[in-house]
Structure 1
Amino acid sequence: MSRKIHKNNGKKTSRGRPPNFSGQHFLKNRKVLCEMVERAKVSAADTVLDLGAGKGALTTLLMQKAGKVWAVEYDARLVELLKKKTAGSLNTKIIHGDIMQFCLPKGKFVVVSNIPYAITTPIMKKLLSNPCSGMQRGIIVMEKGAARRFTSRIIKDAYVLAWRMWFDIHYIRDISRNYFSPRPSVDSAMIQITRKKDSLIPYKDYRFFLGLAEYALQNPKAPLDYALKGLFTPPQIRCLKKDINVSADIPVGEIHEEQWKGIFKAMVRFVPYPCWPKAKKGNETH
């Protein structure tokens, strides 16, 4: 078994048995676990992913409701425990592997998970940064700060804005740190993700919209005029603000996704393609 040193603590760790620095905190409150399954509206028609399945508290509830359950776990010891707990279940697949290396289902799927703190953003990017994926909806428990950032009215991250063009992301409620073992140092939160019935931007234009979002959100507190300077002419910006109904001094981070749809359409119409902002390398798809 290969081993490597993590700069987090300088200790050698087994690849198949990660220590708690990975942010692995097991949700033990059964009431909350049942609420997650209920809110996700899991049915026999669904393929459900449990990412970071841990000891299987959520997996065992999901397998009673879902058509198929894919439980992904990195820790070899926990994988063996999961196999024992799901033995005899024909609809549950235990996958021993890294969440970030795991291939998402090709068809439609639902995510109901308590995800590891340390890789919260990478997991969310994996799920939401490809609008052509089969992701339909999800109920996810994560670190509270990340949940607030992903659902905030003020958008600071271009990738979060891009997600919102195809998915609705809502903050459901706080979850006490006392509901976890081992107990984390911060509280968690539950969020709900639902694919929009009608996307605001065509799926094929994801990387173009992301380029625009990265360009405009370099300073989320900047006025829209300043954020779009160099992309649109001053007269175009004046017309654009009138078309999308925004005030002159509104910070670009407070622009609503419906208004971003108008900004993108204006870019397509008035800005020559060679001048469109390009998404940073490595950010186009995840």
Structure 2
Amino acid sequence: MRARKRFGQHWLRSESVLAQMIAAAELHAGDRVLEIGPGRGALTRPLLASGAEVVAVELDRDLCGQLQRQFGSERFQLIAGDILRLDLAPLGCNKVVANIPYNITGPLLGHLLGSIARPRRPAFERLILLVQKEIGDRLMAAPGSKAYGALSVRGQFLATCEKVCAVPPHAFQPPPKVDSVVICLRPHATLPKVRSPQWLETLLKQGFATRRKMLANALKSLVEPDQVRQALRQLGRDVNSRAEALSLEDWLALSELLQQPRQDQQDPQPPAGRSANG
């Protein structure tokens, strides 16, 4: 079956990359793995061979019959549907290993990790994801680098991110137009302390919305510029700093130093995956 562009399908065919993904997942009997977009099953096969249980979510219904015939067993569960619309908690998976569709990478990361204001709980133990190199670079970026942005800060708040291996276009059929990378995300068991996660999210969104502006000007719709400059002085930072100059620790401290406008104050939201009633 040919890959379909509308589903963002690129079949991974590199045995070396597949082996490195399996090794990075550190799978054991008793693990229950979520695979997103199994396609023709190139990754599903070694996942099942590891002894783990696999829950595969496939949007392309034409592939589902083939996958069920190929892998149908008590350790394999196939769900036909949109991963972004699926409640993940009832699946009982403790790990994620996937060659994810690049056209939904941003929303999917939010679905799998949650957000600063609503982190996913319980969190996955680890996520082995094949993503665009640009996304991997942003998740692993250090302050002051070109790739560093709001995604970097949010990602590092929620998890550690390490590179597993580079994946060139010719590792796929058809080859994508971008380079790729396999990353390992390990969500933090204990998240950094912050008084108002929602306020931190708001500051990040506004601060990085206009990267060329100095932070005092970028945040002026939320906080008086002089207050931002004073907070930067207290952090030992240049008062003319831009958003990308601040580390995660700096952003955490800044959110504590800056006074939150009354209209932004709101009740804490429940963790992702749980209702407000628990």
- Does the pair score TM above 0.5? yes
Shift of the alpha carbon at 1:186? Answer: 2.3
Letter in 2 for 1:52: G
Q: Does 1:92 align with 2:84?
A: no
Q: Does 1:168 align with 2:160?
A: yes
Q: Is the 8 A contact 2:17 2:165 kept in 1?
A: no
Q: Deviations over 1:78-97 (max 9, x none)?
A: 21222122233x22211111
Structure with more contact order per residue of length (Cα contacts < 8 Å, sep ≥ 6): 2
Q: Does 1:188 align with 2:180?
A: yes
Which secondary structure state, in structure 1, belongs to the residue aligned with residue 250 of structure 2? Answer: helix
Q: Residues 256, 36 of structure 1: CA spacing in aligned structure 2 closer, same or farther, 3 A cutoff?
A: same
Matches within 5 A, 1:124-163: 124-130=109-115, 131-133=119-121, 134-153=123-142, 154=145, 158-163=150-155
Q: Is the 8 A contact 1:71 1:95 kept in 2?
A: yes
Q: Is the 8 A contact 2:233 2:239 kept in 1?
A: no
Partner of residue 51 from structure 1, selected from 19, 36, 52: 36
Give the TM-score normalised by structure 2.
Answer: 0.80
Letter in 2 for 1:61: P
The answer for the alignment partner of 1:208 in structure 2 is 199
Q: Does 1:103 align with 2:82?
A: no
**CA–CA distance in structure 1, aligned partners of residues 52 and 24 of structure 2:** 17
Which secondary structure state, in structure 2, belongs to the residue aligned with residue 240 of structure 1? Answer: helix
Matches within 5 A, 1:25-104: 25-65=10-50, 67-88=52-73, 90-104=74-88
The answer for the alignment partner of 2:262 in structure 1 is 273
Shift of the alpha carbon at 1:201? Answer: 4.1
Letter in 1 for 2:42: A
Shift of the alpha carbon at 1:36? Answer: 0.5
Letter in 2 for 1:271: Q
Q: Is the 8 A contact 1:156 1:220 kept in 2?
A: no
Q: Is the 8 A contact 1:51 1:71 kept in 2?
A: yes
Q: Deviations over 1:135-179 (max 9, x none)?
A: 332111122233333333346654553232121233443211111
**CA–CA distance in structure 2, aligned partners of residues 39 and 158 of structure 1:** 26
Shift of the alpha carbon at 1:18? Answer: 8.0
Q: Is the 8 A contact 2:21 2:164 kept in 1?
A: no
Q: Is the 8 A contact 1:177 1:184 kept in 2?
A: yes
The answer for the alignment partner of 2:209 in structure 1 is 218
Q: Is the 8 A contact 2:34 2:93 kept in 1?
A: no
Shift of the alpha carbon at 1:227? Answer: 2.9
Q: Residues 181, 18 of structure 1: CA spacing in aligned structure 2 closer, same or farther, 3 A cutoff?
A: closer
Shift of the alpha carbon at 1:276? Answer: 5.7
**CA–CA distance in structure 2, aligned partners of residues 274 and 247 of structure 1:** 29
Number of positions where the alignment pairs a residue of Structure 1 with one of Structure 2: 260
The answer for the alignment partner of 2:276 in structure 1 is none
Q: Deviations over 1:96-136 (max 9, x none)?
A: 11222222134562111001122222212221234133333
Partner of residue 246 from structure 1, selected from 237, 241, 244: 237
Letter in 2 for 1:97: G
Give the TM-score normalised by structure 1.
Answer: 0.78
- Name the Cα RMSD after superposition: 2.9
Q: Deviations over 1:28-68 (max 9, x none)?
A: 11121111011121222432111001111111211233543
**CA–CA distance in structure 2, aligned partners of residues 245 and 36 of structure 1:** 41
Shift of the alpha carbon at 1:205? Answer: 4.5
Structure 2's unaligned 5+ residue stretches are: 274-278
The answer for the alignment partner of 1:12 in structure 2 is none
Structure 1's unaligned 5+ residue stretches are: 1-16, 278-283
Q: Deviations over 1:205-263 (max 9, x none)?
A: 44332222112222123223323335444554344224433233332123111111111
